[in-house]
Structure 1
Amino acid sequence: MKFAFCLFKYFPFGGLQRDFRRIAEECLRRGHQVAVFTMAWDGEPPPGLEVNLLPSGKFSNHGRCREFARRARTAIAGGGFDAVVGFNKMPGLDVYFAADPCFEAKVRQKHGPLYRLGGRYRCYAEFERAVFAPAAATEILLISEVEKPHFIAQYGTPEERFHFLPPGIDRDRIAKPEDAATRLEVRRELGMAEEELLVLMVGSGFKTKGLDRALRALAALPDKLRQRSRLVVIGQGKAGPFLKLARKLGVEQRLSLLGGRGDVPRFLAAADLLLHPSYYENTGTVLVEALAAGLPVLATEICGYAHYVRQSRAGLLVPSPFRQEELDRMLSLMLNSAERETWRSNALAFAAQADIFSLPQRAADIIEAKALKGRGA
């Protein structure tokens, strides 16, 4: 079969982009043809994937998205595709991978009626309605149950169109016998002694991921504990404001911003704690990746995958509403705790029996079923 995948932008280190790539690779592995339509592509595509660039010269983000949706529909029409799969909301999709929150619910929570007169609102509301309206035929792939009630409340979307997917982490995240040697190797690269504590953050978009919260928590540690702790951040984002905040807090020397990297498993092996104090997180795949690596987790409970941390008993969750003082207290507690080895054992036991790998396979199953239905099979 032949599938069209639509994605606004691809870059190697985004969570949505990684899921897109894994699903595309699974479809290719099954012998299907996959063509992606996107405004921008950064990096090497997987073998066999056809990449079609549809750049837009519009000034605003929503203008570029609307122009892309129009051009994608034109490019896809007559191409003999059995299913159109979207990784961003837009009209004309047979299957939508729901990585983003409910736009309409957020607007009604945060903005007044005047906001809904603007072009940005009209574009994104129209795109979301095209996917979730009761009369639409789009199948919805959910990676978190958190947003489902919001979509149903806003649009009355039928329950049967939602399909929940398990996490889809890469198996290279699983703890390995050679991790002890990797831990020493990474620490040498960072100039860290074995007795120092490596607090790891992974994720692009530093503002949303709560890097400011992490820096404040690092600065609030007792002096001796702070002097033997290092916050290591992997991901893409605007570093300037956070370097300025680190200097203001006096922790610039305890911070390493490494940018986006493809060797995250090495750092999961080297770390003592994963810190993920996000302001918002539909899923938080890195939480499950940390559990697979046997790494204790400290995260905000608003993360869609936070329930895996609770279920595994492999870390702590900062309750909502968020209080910085509570994060400060929990970080100090976890870094000092004799329970770290228990948390590690619990994480490994959980990862050994839970389904945390099959997202690409389940997504491909649903895409195939939708395509066959469209053929009348």
Structure 2
Amino acid sequence: MKLAFCLFKYFPFGGLQRDFLRIAEACQRRGHSIDVFTTCWEGEVPAGFDVHLLPVSSLTNHGRSLAFGKALSERLGVAAYDAVIGFNKLTGLDVYFAADPCFAAKVRHKHGFLYRLSNRYRIYAALEKAVFGPESATEILLISEVEKPHFIGHYGTAENRFHALPPGICRDRKAPDNPLQERNNFRREFGFSDAAQLLLMVGSGFKTKGLDRSIQALAALPELTRKNAFLLVVGQGDAAPFLRLARKLGVDDHLKFYGGRNDVPRFLFGADLLLQPSYYENTGTAIVEAIVAGLPVLATANCGYAHYVTESNAGLLAPEPFVQEQFNELLLQMLTSSGREAWRRSALDFASRADLFSLPEKAADIIESVALRSHR
């Protein structure tokens, strides 16, 4: 079969981008040909992928989204594909990978009437309706149940169009057979002592991930605890405003940025605690990656994957609405608790029993079924 995968931008360290790549590769392993349509591709192109760059120009993100959709429609109109799979909201999709929250619900809670008169609103609302509206036939790959009621409530989307997927955690995140050696090797290489308390954040988009909340919690630790605590940040983003905040709070020497990396498992194995105090998170893949690695988690309850922390007993959740002082107390509790080993064992036990890995294969199953249906 000939499959078209569409996403606005590809770069190696984005969660959506990683999911796209693994799903496309799963389809390729089944013998299907893979065409990719995007505005930008950073990094190596996998063997056998045919990447089509669609240059678009606009002064705004919503303008670029609209231009990409128009250019994509023109290209797809002159080629025959068995299925068109989108990772951003676009018209004409057979399958949509729902990585983003419901735009209509977000607008209703955060913006007034005047915002709904803007071009930005009209464009994004139209693209979302093209996917979720009742007249659409797009099948929806759902990675978090959190947003499903919003889509159904706003658009009347048929229940049978949603296909729930398990997390797609890479198996290299699984805890090694020699965890203590991996931990010690990491600390030697990056210059941390055995006594250092390493707090880890993973993911691009530092503002949404709540990096400012983690920095404030780090600064609020008692002096003796804070002296040995370091916040490690892995991912792409603008570090400057967060470094300014850390300097203002006197913890800039305890904040380390490592950029986007391919060796994330080493950080998971070397750290003491994962922090995920997101303002909003449709999923929060790093939460499940940490559980698989045996790393205790402190996250906000509004993350789509927060329920895995509760189900696995692998850490603590900061309830909504978020209160910074409460998060500070939870961080201190986890750093000084004697229960960290119990959290680690519970996480590993849960990871050995739950399906946390098969997202690419399940997504490929659904894509194939949609493509076969179009043939019939």
Alignment of 1:194-233 (within 5 A): 194-233=194-233
Which residue in 1 is equivalent to 2:91?
91
One-letter code aligned to 2:114? L
**1:74 & 1:137 partners in 2: Cα distance?**
20
Which residue in 1 is equivalent to 2:38?
38
Which residue in 1 is equivalent to 2:182?
182
Matched, 1:263 2:263: yes
**1:107 & 1:118 partners in 2: Cα distance?**
12
Which residue in 1 is equivalent to 2:283?
283
Q: Deviations over 1:105-136 (max 9, x none)?
A: 11111111111111111110000000001111
Which residue in 1 is equivalent to 2:24?
24
Where 2:92 maps in the other structure, the secondary structure is coil
TM-score, with structure 2 as normaliser? 0.99
Q: Deviations over 1:47-99 (max 9, x none)?
A: 21111100112221111111111111111223220000000001000000000
**2:27 & 2:44 partners in 1: Cα distance?**
18
Matched, 1:338 2:334: no
State the shift of 1:178 in Å: 3.3
Which residue in 2 is equivalent to 1:169?
169
Where 2:283 maps in the other structure, the secondary structure is coil
One-letter code aligned to 2:319? P
**1:9 & 1:142 partners in 2: Cα distance?**
20
Which residue in 2 is equivalent to 1:312?
312
Where 2:44 maps in the other structure, the secondary structure is coil
**1:319 & 1:373 partners in 2: Cα distance?**
44
State the shift of 1:243 in Å: 0.3
State the shift of 1:179 in Å: 3.0
Gaps of 5+ in 1: none
**1:90 & 1:290 partners in 2: Cα distance?**
32
**1:326 & 1:14 partners in 2: Cα distance?**
30
State the shift of 1:184 in Å: 1.3
State the shift of 1:157 in Å: 0.4
TM-score, with structure 1 as normaliser? 0.99
**1:26 & 1:76 partners in 2: Cα distance?**
22
State the shift of 1:144 in Å: 0.1
One-letter code aligned to 2:326? E
Aligned length: 376
**1:309 & 1:104 partners in 2: Cα distance?**
29
Which residue in 1 is equivalent to 2:63?
63
Gaps of 5+ in 2: none
Which residue in 1 is equivalent to 2:7?
7
State the shift of 1:189 in Å: 2.3
**2:47 & 2:186 partners in 1: Cα distance?**
31
Q: Deviations over 1:166-204 (max 9, x none)?
A: 000100000011332221121122211111111111010
One-letter code aligned to 1:75? R
Aligned-CA RMSD value? 0.7
**2:335 & 2:314 partners in 1: Cα distance?**
14
Q: What's the % identity of the aligned pairs?
A: 63
**1:183 & 1:129 partners in 2: Cα distance?**
48
List structure 1 segments (4+ residues) > 6 angstroms apart after TM superposition. Answer: none
Which residue in 2 is equivalent to 1:124?
124
State the shift of 1:45 in Å: 1.8
**2:48 & 2:287 partners in 1: Cα distance?**
31
Query: Structure 1 residues 88-97 or 39-48, which shifts more?
Result: 39-48
**1:165 & 1:47 partners in 2: Cα distance?**
26
**2:362 & 2:77 partners in 1: Cα distance?**
27
**1:358 & 1:46 partners in 2: Cα distance?**
21
**1:219 & 1:64 partners in 2: Cα distance?**
40
**1:255 & 1:181 partners in 2: Cα distance?**
24
Which residue in 2 is equivalent to 1:254?
254
Alignment of 1:293-304 (within 5 A): 293-304=293-304
Alignment of 1:137-176 (within 5 A): 137-176=137-176
**1:47 & 1:265 partners in 2: Cα distance?**
25
Where 1:316 maps in the other structure, the secondary structure is strand
